């Protein structure tokens, strides 16, 4: 059932409008966001659609096609609403906390962003609701301020210590472009990303591996990076230059922390190098950077699992130019840069590799860069 149909069924009337916000694939730049570094996501065509209509002041009711029943709430404090509706209540809370007069609303949600796959289904949910409420209430809220407000909903209300990558991607990406984002200044550059013109494609391989220890391990990585920055006397690891990496590592006693720092500092450089190659129309050449990013996540940041490493290995052996895990890690998806006409062979190679190790089969599709959040 569509969001509009659900709205009609639940509330017996038409919505005032439909708003949508996408999931994302991060082309490169993993865990760099909360280190105030660089990321390069693009928006997926998969999105969350919010059908929204007015309600009395300070009353919000949400329902969704992914769970039976509606959740109603008034003005709440962080943590008071739980489950998936917390992302909605969190957005309301975050906007109000920033001083905005948030209109009461009835909201019906539908989404085709895969959940728990590292493709930002939660950011798509937050961003669709935030965009709808901002429009409905006529809030004076420029695009560049919106991701941080959605991020606060997740950090403070839901309690997940994530960075600004996912909400920025969902809100600020444009069709046919990758979003080069400076996570310190929030400055963006829209990078043309039309692979089809080159006979190339990004194959997304959902490992369907169960997520393990996601929240805890994410928080541990983040703390380790922040502690390293403190020891090194810099505001964030973004401030450790690549040519100062060896010195910085010498100043850290802890071997695990050294590896975390090495990942972040080299990953920031790989994002910059990827952007330079894309801007020079040398798309195939980003392949080795993608693969190096994966090796860094596997060996230094230690956030991959066997199914993910296997998908990367199989894609590369089937001729991919490069492949890497995308997203927070411990499961989720791999992306591979391939010749479009190698898609079937690459998928087969990954499926065969999975079957050999008796893993749940992967789900694969070609991803194109869709639009960011907006009214439909
Ligand atoms: C998750 C987080 F939500 C992002 O902020 C980012 O840190 C990402 O993992 C890793 O790059 O998606």
- pLDDT value at residue 213: 54
Predicted TM-score (pTM) above 0.90: yes
- pLDDT value at residue 11: 97
- How far, in Å, CA of 83 to CA of 197, rounded? 42
- How far, in Å, CA of 345 to CA of 162, rounded? 36
- pLDDT value at residue 214: 58
Tell me which of 33, 110, 166, 268 is the catalytic residue: 166
Does residue 138 share a domain with residue 213?
Answer: no
375 is a domain residue: no
105-111 and 177-182 strand pairing: unpaired
Residue where the block lists tokens 């660089």: 38
Ligand 1 contact, 90 CB (< 6 A): no
In 3D space, the residue among 170, 173, 52, 196 whose CA is nearest the CA of residue 113 turns out to be 170
Ligand 1 contact, 30 CB (< 6 A): yes
Does residue 242 share a domain with residue 144?
Answer: no
Ligand 1 contact, 328 CB (< 6 A): yes
Instruction: Give Cα separations from 134 to 124, 126, 174 (angstroms).
Output: 15, 12, 19
Whether complex ipTM tops 0.90:
yes
Measured from the CA of 160, which atom of ligand 1 is nearest? 3
CATH of the domain at 86: 3.30.230.10
What is the count of structural domains for the chain?
Answer: 2
213 is a domain residue: yes
Query: What token pair was written down for 12?
Result: 């017996």
**Cα maximum dimension of the chain:** 66
Does residue 218 share a domain with residue 100?
Answer: no
- How far, in Å, CA of 72 to CA of 342, rounded? 49
Does residue 162 share a domain with residue 234?
Answer: no
- How far, in Å, CA of 177 to CA of 324, rounded? 19
Measured from the CA of 154, which atom of ligand 1 is nearest? 3
Does residue 159 share a domain with residue 225?
Answer: no
Count of CB atoms within 10 A of residue 362's CB? 22
29 is a domain residue: yes
Measured from the CA of 163, which atom of ligand 1 is nearest? 5
Q: Is 166 a catalytic residue?
A: yes
Provide the residue-wise pLDDT of the chain in tens; the chain has 376 residues: 999 999 999 999 999 999 999 999 999 999 999 999 999 999 999 999 999 999 999 999 999 998 888 999 999 999 999 999 999 999 999 999 999 999 999 999 999 999 989 999 999 999 999 999 999 999 999 999 999 999 999 999 999 999 999 999 999 999 999 999 999 999 999 999 989 999 999 999 999 997 765 568 999 999 999 999 999 999 999 999 999 999 999 999 999 999 999 999 999 999 999 999 999 999 999 999 999 999 999 999 999 999 999 999 999 999 999 999 999 999 999 999 999 999 999 999 999 999 999 999 999 999 999 999 999 9
CATH of the domain at 283: 3.30.70.890
- Residue 172, CB half-sphere, CA atoms under 13 Å: how many? 29
363-367 and 200-206 strand pairing: antiparallel
Ligand 1 contact, 166 CB (< 6 A): yes
Does residue 329 share a domain with residue 350?
Answer: yes
- pLDDT value at residue 67: 87
- How far, in Å, CA of 107 to CA of 7, rounded? 7
10 is a domain residue: yes
Last residue of a domain, one of 191, 210, 240: 191
Does residue 270 share a domain with residue 142?
Answer: no
- How far, in Å, CA of 48 to CA of 190, rounded? 22
Does residue 166 share a domain with residue 83?
Answer: yes
Atom 3 (ligand 1) nearest CA? 162
Does residue 136 share a domain with residue 260?
Answer: no
For residue 323, what are the domain limits?
194-367
Ligand 1 contact, 332 CB (< 6 A): no
DSSP letters spanning 199-240: TEEEEEEE--PPP-SHHHHHHHHHHHHHHHHHHHT-SSGGGS
Separation of 15 CA from ligand 1 center, angstroms? 33
- pLDDT value at residue 311: 98
- pLDDT value at residue 66: 87
């Amino acid at each position: 059932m569509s969001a509009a149909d659900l709205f009609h069924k639940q509330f017996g009337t038409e919505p005032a409008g439909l708003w949508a916000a996408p999931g994302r694939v991060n082309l490169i730049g993993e865990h760099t966001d909360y280190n105030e570094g660089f990321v390069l996501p693009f928006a997926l065509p998969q999105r969350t659609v919010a059908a929204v209509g007015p309600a009395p002041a300070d009353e919000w009711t949400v329902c969704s096609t992914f769970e039976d029943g509606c959740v109603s709430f008034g003005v709440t404090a962080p943590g008071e609403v739980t489950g998936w509706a917390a992302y909605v209540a969190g957005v309301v809370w975050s906007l109000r906390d920033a001083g905005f007069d948030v209109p009461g609303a009835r909201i019906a949600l539908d989404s085709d962003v895969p959940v728990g796959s590292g493709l930002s289904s939660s950011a798509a949910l937050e961003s669709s609701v935030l965009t709808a409420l901002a429009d409905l209430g006529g809030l004076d809220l420029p695009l560049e301020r919106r991701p941080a407000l959605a991020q606060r909903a997740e950090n403070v209300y839901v309690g997940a210590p994530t960075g600004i990558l996912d909400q920025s991607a969902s809100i600020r990406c444009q069709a046919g472009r990758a979003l080069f984002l400076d996570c310190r200044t929030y400055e963006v550059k829209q990078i043309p990303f039309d692979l089809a013109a080159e006979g190339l494609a990004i194959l997304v391989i959902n490992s369907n591996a169960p997520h393990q220890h996601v929240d805890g391990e994410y928080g541990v990585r983040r703390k380790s990076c922040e502690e390293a920055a403190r020891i090194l006397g810099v505001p964030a690891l973004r401030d450790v230059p690549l040519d100062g990496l060896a010195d910085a590592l010498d100043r850290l006693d802890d071997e695990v922390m050294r590896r975390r720092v090495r990942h972040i500092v080299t990953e920031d450089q790989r994002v910059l190098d990827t952007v330079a190659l894309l801007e020079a129309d040398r798309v195939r050449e980003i392949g080795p950077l993608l693969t190096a990013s994966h090796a860094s996540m596997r060996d230094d940041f230690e956030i991959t699992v066997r199914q993910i490493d296997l998908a990367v290995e199989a894609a590369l052996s089937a001729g991919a130019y490069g492949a890497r895990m995308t997203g927070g890690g411990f499961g989720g998806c791999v992306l591979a840069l391939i010749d479009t006409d190698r898609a079937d062979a690459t998928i087969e190679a990954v499926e065969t590799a999975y079957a050999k190790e008796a893993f749940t089969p992967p789900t694969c599709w070609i991803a194109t860069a869709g639009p960011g959040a907006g009214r439909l």
